[in-house]
Structure 1
């Protein structure tokens, strides 16, 4: 049965970097209808390593849940012998089922911060007619990542320009590779999503690259050594250095901020979210609207 009450749905995959989710949830909480947080019932990562999430985490999340929007979903997400990326995709699909049919599905990672999220949800609610008949008219939206690559006591080294795409929203959550659905029409939105990504301490980066979905996609340890070499004297030397698609990370710039909270506030002030528009012809919009009536 299609859920017509909940229009904006957010889902998180919870694992080794659970502490980042607090910052992320605070950005979106007031503007979503439901949030589902999924985690492995046997405390395993996709690589089969143990992960410890303290009980205090769940109570702290609940203390943020003033309107009872958050649901925890635990299941067996690690299966021995399966590639980490296959398991990530599987968990995303299982979580989508838990989130329920209908509405805009937003699968957001714990280290992604959707500032001025209200502007994005207003756009999605305005275009909720696109939610009708998603099986026949799948719609996906991708946004622009603002990737944070390294940090020191003075601030953050970030990837520019902000052109790396992130598949974030769909009305038809049938995932084929991580958040990619490979079905229907994919449209770009000029919305910026801050991704803390590699801007972590060394031990956190090691934990990340030995457990994430991309574990087997490139020489992570070689890239880790490169990452450690970045500093205030050489960060401008590196051009086109993404490990999978070089041109996606063109160059590094420096943004002063003492911590991530200060970064988000300062970044939003310097780069306010633009007005969002639906990148479709007037004729196509009318056709889709007419289809939504039947």
Structure 2
């Protein structure tokens, strides 16, 4: 079977599996730029039978008053700060309370994680020496993170892709699951179903190429890695990230009865 035939057959099998699935609620996707995409996270969610309800509050899209019609929500990153005074930043940060109140699955990525931290009363800050994490950096699990990995069956990657110059403290009442270098808090969990990740598991190779060209100046900041290091790192470090994300989304989007069995 040639490559084209293999891809056609793979898509046919995927469509067959999706057609056999019972109807699933959509997942709310919050993006911050006109041409942003949910990347690999969006693709993997769609493969699980969920439609993507994509909204951009920055451009006037409303956020739902309840999560009863959604299976979960993901707030992605962006060039703005969670500390910015813009109305949409405050609206998104406040809206996270809807997910927390209803115990709905929530995932914040980079800016989305910082919004979660801010909502819970933690500080979002720039590095005192102006350093940034842009490229691939080590990730270390805390004791809480190791316990979560055991309970959920998610094998966390040891090196992840970063693109940020701000970090956040772990909010009171939340758990720090993973730590890093210049920005120590890398992953948090609030309750059972709300997660914030400082890193970017959604990034595809195409997204990495686009970011590292359009945001070239970020790769020159103190602590950042040059563009060729990003591309070299993709082939070395991405497979464990991809495998972890696949299992993590299974865990995040489990039905409520299944979630009850995981502390």
* Structure richer in helix, relative to its length: 2
- The TM-score, its normalising length taken from structure 2, stands at 0.33
- The TM-score, its normalising length taken from structure 1, stands at 0.31
Which is greater in Rg? 1
